[in-house]
């Protein structure tokens, strides 16, 4: 994507249009001193070059859309793949935890011990669900934030491309009008060069601004997600330790009980 945006910028680089025109103009002026003929040749060459530029801009804009669609498809595939992997991992963790709880239940002989194991089981389930909910919410918030950033960047880039095309078309229209009325080809060339240069500078700055805003926003939602993950893990660890200690006291054990942490 970045390369394509740079190519669009390069497509309106002044030298790619003006240098060949200026060279041809110099050759033409040597062959023919008639000013009307010089202007006619010069303007014809300019319009030919600008027509080719217009085609390149359109082609590269289409390439951007194609790459956007491809990238969106890859992201969606990764999201679905992660969902499957997380679901499988949680299912295996639940199986291991249930096996551990079954052993604890078998060891409980008195009603008090059985009640303690039940309380432990409920505490573990609550801690697991709380962490999973916090993680899922953080992931969802990250995805929503990412989608919003992508949409804002897309709108900014599309606006920059649209503005570039409009400025180019205005420069072409000005060149055509000047070719029909002005008498100095060099003046036409100078005005066209300035118009295209201004359009290119505005486009480049707009793209840089859009990319910078996206990067800053993405780093922010990454940090927010990390903070949410860290808190979820810390809260889970604290809840598990409390549940283990409560169970140990209830069972009258001096050694630590171990649990599988999903």
Interval 174-214: pLDDT, tens: 888 888 786 677 888 888 889 889 999 999 999 999 999 99
User: Which has the higher per-residue pLDDT, 184 or 14?
Assistant: 184
Decide if pLDDT at 255 tops 70. no
Q: How far apart are CA 238 and CA 133, in angstroms?
A: 16
pLDDT average, residue stretch 113-131: 93
Q: Alpha-carbon torsion 240, 242, 245, 249, what sign?
A: negative
pLDDT band at 45 (very low <50, low <70, confident <90, very high): confident
User: Which has the higher per-residue pLDDT, 219 or 250?
Assistant: 219
pLDDT average, residue stretch 84-108: 89
Cα 231 to Cα 15, 57, 120, 228, 234, distances in angstroms:
56, 48, 22, 5, 5
3 state SS of 64: helix
pLDDT average, residue stretch 227-246: 95
Q: How far apart are CA 243 and CA 66, in angstroms?
A: 54
Provide the mean pLDDT of the chain: 81
Question: Please, what's the b/e burial string for 114-132 (b: 16 or more CB within 10 A of its CB; e: otherwise)?
Answer: eebbeebbebbeebbeebe
Share of the chain above pLDDT 70, in %: 79
Q: What integer pLDDT is reported at residue 40 of this predicted model? A: 62
Lowest mean pLDDT among 49-58, 156-165, 205-214, 224-233: 49-58
Q: Are residues 75 and 1 in contact, defined by beta-carbon separation less than 8 angstroms?
A: no
Q: Are residues 24 and 45 in contact, defined by beta-carbon separation less than 8 angstroms?
A: yes
Q: What integer pLDDT is reported at residue 76 of this predicted model? A: 82
User: Which has the higher per-residue pLDDT, 60 or 237?
Assistant: 237
Q: What integer pLDDT is reported at residue 25 of this predicted model? A: 47
Q: What integer pLDDT is reported at residue 12 of this predicted model? A: 53
Q: How far apart are CA 80 and CA 143, in angstroms?
A: 12
Q: What integer pLDDT is reported at residue 23 of this predicted model? A: 46
Q: What integer pLDDT is reported at residue 79 of this predicted model? A: 83
């Amino acid at each position: 994507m970045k390369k394509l945006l740079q190519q669009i910028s390069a497509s309106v680089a002044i030298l790619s249009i003006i240098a060949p025109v200026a060279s041809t103009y110099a050759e033409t002026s040597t062959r023919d001193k008639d000013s009307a003929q010089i202007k006619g040749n010069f303007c014809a060459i300019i319009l030919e070059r600008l027509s080719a530029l217009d085609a390149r801009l359109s082609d590269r804009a289409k390439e951007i859309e194609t790459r956007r669609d491809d990238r969106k498809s890859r992201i969606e595939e990764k999201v679905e793949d992660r969902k499957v992997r997380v679901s499988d991992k949680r299912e295996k963790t639940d199986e291991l935890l249930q096996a551990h709880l079954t052993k604890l239940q078998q060891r409980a002989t008195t009603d008090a011990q059985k009640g303690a194991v039940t309380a432990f089981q409920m505490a573990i389930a609550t801690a697991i669900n709380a962490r999973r909910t916090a993680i899922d919410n953080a992931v969802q918030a990250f995805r929503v934030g990412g989608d919003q950033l992508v949409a804002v960047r897309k709108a900014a880039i599309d606006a920059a491309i649209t503005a570039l095309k409009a400025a180019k078309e205005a420069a072409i229209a000005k060149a055509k009008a000047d070719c029909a009325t002005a008498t100095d080809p060099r003046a036409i060339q100078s005005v066209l060069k300035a118009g295209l240069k201004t359009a290119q500078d505005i486009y480049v700055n707009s793209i840089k601004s859009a990319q910078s805003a996206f990067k800053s926003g993405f780093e922010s939602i990454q940090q927010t997600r990390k903070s949410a993950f860290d808190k979820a893990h810390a809260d889970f660890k604290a809840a598990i330790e409390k549940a283990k200690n409560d169970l140990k006291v209830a069972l009258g054990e001096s050694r630590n009980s171990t649990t599988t942490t999903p």
